[in-house]
Amino acid sequence: MKRVTKHMQLPSGRQSGLFLTIDNDWSTEQAAAVAELLEDLLHVIHSRYQDKLHAHQKATYHSIQACLLRR
């Protein structure tokens, strides 16, 4: 069973700690099912934590901007 390993930029920016592989023999239907599951999970997380996630992202963004302005 071959695995596809690609070095890609993850949305989290994480570069280590997670090794993600996808088997080459996945069918389109399997890939679609996993994508649908992840979309459902994201929807549930956002439904429950939307306000807290927004506040966290806003604070993180402002923290990064402050660091950049100090340079």
Report the candidate in 21, 18, 17, 19 with the shortest Cα–Cα distance to residue 1: 21
- For the entire predicted model, the pTM comes to 0.58
Q: What is the pLDDT of residue 33?
A: 96
Q: Which residues of the chain have pLDDT under 50?
A: none
Q: Which residue has the tokens 């939307």?
A: 50
The domain limits of the chain are 37-71
Phi, psi dihedrals of residue 30, rounded to the nearest 5° = -65, -45
